[in-house]
Structure 1
Amino acid sequence: METVSTTNSDTSSRTTSFPVVRFLQAPVTTIFEYSGFLRPRSESESLIPQHNNNNHHSSSDSGANGNVGNSEGDVSIRIMSDGELEGERGGDGGRESVVLSGDGGGGGEREMADSSDVDGRSGNNSDSSNQQRYDLQQVSRWIEQILPFSLLLIVVFIRQHLQGFFVTIYVTAFMYKSNDILRKQTALKGERRLSVLIGYSIIFMLHVVGVYWWYQNDDLSYPLFMVPPKTIPPFWHAIFIIIVNDTMVRQAAMTLKLVLLMYYKNGRGHNFRRQGQMLTLVEYALLLYRAFLPAPVWYRFFLNKEYGSLFSSLITGLYLTFKLTSVVVKVGSFYSALKALSRKEMHYGSHATPEQVSEAGDMCAICQEKMQAPILLCCNHIFCEDCVSEWFERERTCPLCRALVRPADIRSFGDGSTSLFFQLF
């Protein structure tokens, strides 16, 4: 009972106060101990195997209970007969015992119960748990040894490429913010303002032009026209060129999507469905172009004659082969988006007749208003075309009965979103 209270008090003190000084000395080990993965240890405490501890406790218990007076006494084993064994089992409830007697000053006896197997298994579990803690502690100490030097190398690396890091973080953050703006303007539909769309379009285009004007002396714009850089770029400079071009192309595509939103600003029903199809087509065309965009940079990087003409030609051929397989997938997606745009009827339903609308109640279950351009789904539920088109941009089932309505053809980007994954290879 006293041990439990001590453990609880240690746990509460560990949760309430964080050892700042020890964290500065050994951060990884301190975090492991504070989170409970490692048991806190003192500096002088060493990891002793569990079986040694069990032997120590067993010897101390036998010394206390058996009154062993001299540790140098001889030990003898008394073999019990069948009668004595039966009597011993009857008196102790069937417990088998082995009596150890010592010839020292005060002889003692120790009984071993049948539960020794259970104790052995628990001891093995304790040994494995103790070994896992030991391995975790060694890993944390190894990390603490290399952590300061790794941080120094990272700081020097960032200082050497400071401008590249700043530009990459800036254009990425600007792209994420632009994607949120475009999605919000798409969701406004007929309530969006033309002046706001024009303002965002000008800002996006000025941002693209400003980045390429800043790097006009570099080979940054060559891959846009599928032309390899003039010189073989270093590895990190090649990564920088690819990331900036990939981000700027998406930024320019966002400007084109804003122009589409201006065109479909006052549309209703069918126009909003066509708007979503056009936004999806633009996105898949962008994905196809972005698949080609890193190829000129890596072509120049891999085709390095300093490594040998055979090796460089082999690596370049393998890269172009892998790139061809990914481009084929992008071409298939673009073709599916183009085919969906040319389709006259909706692939999830058809226009409802006035009799069908009156039977359904002439009330849309999504917007709770009178139906505008009602659409009859294959599950016989009727909704506004505007509402159900927006619903199927995110879902594939009926809003009421959850029946599967929309086929799993291609992913829709009708909400104005842009893929945020970088195309590095």
Structure 2
Amino acid sequence: MEEPLSNRLGNVLQGFIPGLSTMDAPVSLNSNPRANDNNEGAIIIDMPSEGAAGGTGDNPAEGNGNEAGNNAEARGNTASEIRAVRPLLERVLPFVLILLVKILYDHRLGVVVLIGLIGTFIHHNSSLKRQVMLRDKRQIHSLLIMLVLLPFNIFFCYYVFLEQELYKSLIFLKPNFENYDLWTLLWVTGITDTVIKFMTIAAKCAVAILPRSCLSFKRRGKHYMMIEQVSQLYRLLTPVPVWIAYLSDYTDSHWIVSYLLTFVYILAKANAVYVMGQEVRTAVRTVFHDVHYGNSPAEEDMKNAGDACPICQDVFKEPIQLHCKHIFCEECVAMWFDRERTCPMCRAKIVESPKWRDGGTTTYVQLF
């Protein structure tokens, strides 16, 4: 059977046009039956445009449509993944909750005591900061109540767990536990850390109760900072005995691994103690050195400043002029810098970090 004319012409064109047979889009070679009279039997080569072939041609609407389709497909994949994970969560979540309830019930006394201590700490910490801010208007009876309640809470905690002898952690000894599992370790360190925080707040309450004649308000921030830094160093050391006992226990592991972990822990702890020791040294030196935030203003500057301190809104007492030229009472601005590091008027930076000078105690729990 004779080969059709269109196929023969196609073979000829493939010889003259390299790569014609490998084009992404099909090539149509056909006779147009409706050709005009002058071009009857003409061959029409239908080659789709680049945009039609790849979907990335000159038509922007088509490109945006493809992008929207890809986004919809991605959202569909995410939704399908969530639907695939949901049955797993529904099967696992009840057992996780059951295990959590079991652990909390088995250790219910310790959990309740720990939650009570944390709540008590948060309340007394905020109350002390508020009383420190009031200066002469502070409520002495509130400070005295805290000074009584804090030791009572410590005594109550150690009385409840008298058999475990938790108080030994305060003198760097191990409490009375047969086995030191992870839960016991974290619980003991958490209780000890909270108790030391109570002691810290009580010491700051004692400083806050002192009358102005014994200790001026502008110097109290440095004492609060020193007490806090010493407390953090103490809290950093108390977990060491129980952690060494836990890491050096090679009942379920090889003794080399246990002693290696203990050695690494001691090195890391020694570095942390050294850094904290430097901060304590700086705090102690600060207590015995007066810090001057500015100079005494001239008479002309006092006339321009007016008659009242911008902080206390009262007559200037021992006025001092900062390097930004604003004038305040020395005591007022000293207590301001116990909380802020910038000028109250223009926000120019005057001092470095004022941390722990406001009477606050860190909420961080030292577990390691």
Same fold per TM (> 0.5)?
A: yes
Q: What SS does the aligned partner of 1:305 have?
A: coil
Residue equivalent to 1:134:
80
Cα distance in structure 2, aligned partners of 1:214 and 1:374: 54
Q: How does 1:261-280 map to 2 (within 5 A)?
A: 261-263=208-210, 265-266=211-212, 271-280=216-225
Segments of 5+ residues of structure 1 without an aligned counterpart are: 1-75, 85-95, 98-112
Pair 398,126 (structure 1): closer, same or farther in 2 beyond 3 Å: same
What residue number does 1:334 align with? 280
* 2:115 is the counterpart of 1:194: no
| Contact 1:284 1:334 (C-alpha < 8 Å) held by counterparts | yes
**Partner residue in 2 for 1:323:** 269
Checking the alignment, whether the CA contact within 8 Å between 1:279 and 1:416 is kept in structure 2 is yes
Aligned residue identity for 1:160: D
Q: CA deviation at 1:120?
A: 3.7
Task: Name the residue aligned to 1:53.
Answer: none
Q: Which amino acid aligns with 2:188?
A: I
Cα distance in 1, alignment partners of residues 354 and 186 from structure 2: 28
Q: 2:244 aligns with which of 299, 318, 339?
A: 299
Q: Report 1:371-386 matches (<5 A).
A: 371-386=316-331
Output aligned runs, 1:66-81, within 5 Å: 79=29
Tell me the equivalent position of 1:360: 305
1:328 Cα offset (Å): 1.7
Deviation at 1:350, TM superposition (A): 3.4
With over 3 angstroms needed to count, the CA separation of the structure-2 counterparts of 1:360 and 1:125, relative to structure 1, is: closer
* CA distance in 2 between partners of 1:217 and 1:238 (Å): 16
Structure 2: which 5+ runs fail to align?
A: 1-25, 36-47, 50-57
In the alignment, which residue of structure 1 is the partner of 2:364?
421
Name the larger-Rg structure. Answer: 2
Q: Distance in 2 between matches of 1:299 and 1:153?
A: 29
1:170 to partner: Cα distance: 0.8
Q: CA deviation at 1:359?
A: 4.5
Asked if structure 1 preserves the Cα contact closer than 8 Å seen for 2:337 and 2:354, the reply is no
User: What is the aligned length?
Assistant: 320
Aligned amino acid, residue 359 of structure 2: G
- Structure 1 residues 77 and 209 mapped into 2: Cα distance closer, same or farther (>3 Å)? same
Output the CA distance in 1 between the equivalents of 2:117 and 2:212: 32
1:41-70 Cα shifts (integer Å, max 9, x gaps):
xxxxxxxxxxxxxxxxxxxxxxxxxxxxxx
- Are the counterparts in 1 of residues 340 and 354 from structure 2 also a CA contact under 8 Å? no
Counterpart AA for 1:138: A
| Residue in structure 2 matching 1:242, options 176, 186, 189 | 189
Using the TM superposition, give the Cα deviation of residue 143 of structure 1 relative to its aligned residue in structure 2, in angstroms: 1.5
CA, structure 1 residues 133+80, in 2 after alignment: closer, same or farther (shift >3 Å)? farther
Determine if contact 1:398/1:405 at 8 Å carries over to the other structure.
Answer: yes
The aligned amino acid for 2:164 is D
Instruction: Give the 3 Å change call, closer, same or farther, for CA 289–411 of structure 1 in structure 2.
Output: farther
Secondary structure of 1:383's aligned partner: strand
Mapping for residues 80-159 of structure 1, pairs under 5 Å: 118-159=64-105
- Counterpart CA distance in 1 for 2:30 and 2:344 is 82
CA contact (8 A) 1:278 1:341 kept: yes
Deviations 1:120-139 (A, max 9, x none): 44333322221111112222
Q: Deviations over 1:251-279 (max 9, x none)?
A: 0111111111111x3359x8111111111
Q: Are residues 80 and 333 of structure 1, via their aligned partners in 2, closer, same or farther at CA, if it must alter by over 3 Å?
A: farther
After superposition, the CA RMSD in angstroms is 2.8
TM-score by length of 1: 0.69
Aligned-partner Cα distance in 2 for 1:341–1:384: 21
TM-score, with length taken from structure 2: 0.79
Counterpart contact for 1:229–1:296, Cα < 8 Å: no
Give the secondary-structure state (helix, strand or coil) at the position aligned to 2:166: coil
Give % identity: 28
Hey, what's the Cα distance between the residues in 1 that align with 2:224 and 2:257?
Answer: 43
CA contact (8 A) 1:281 1:334 kept: yes
**CA deviations over 1:183-212 (Å, ceiling 9, x no partner):** 121122111233332222111111111111
Amino acid in the other structure paired with 2:135: K
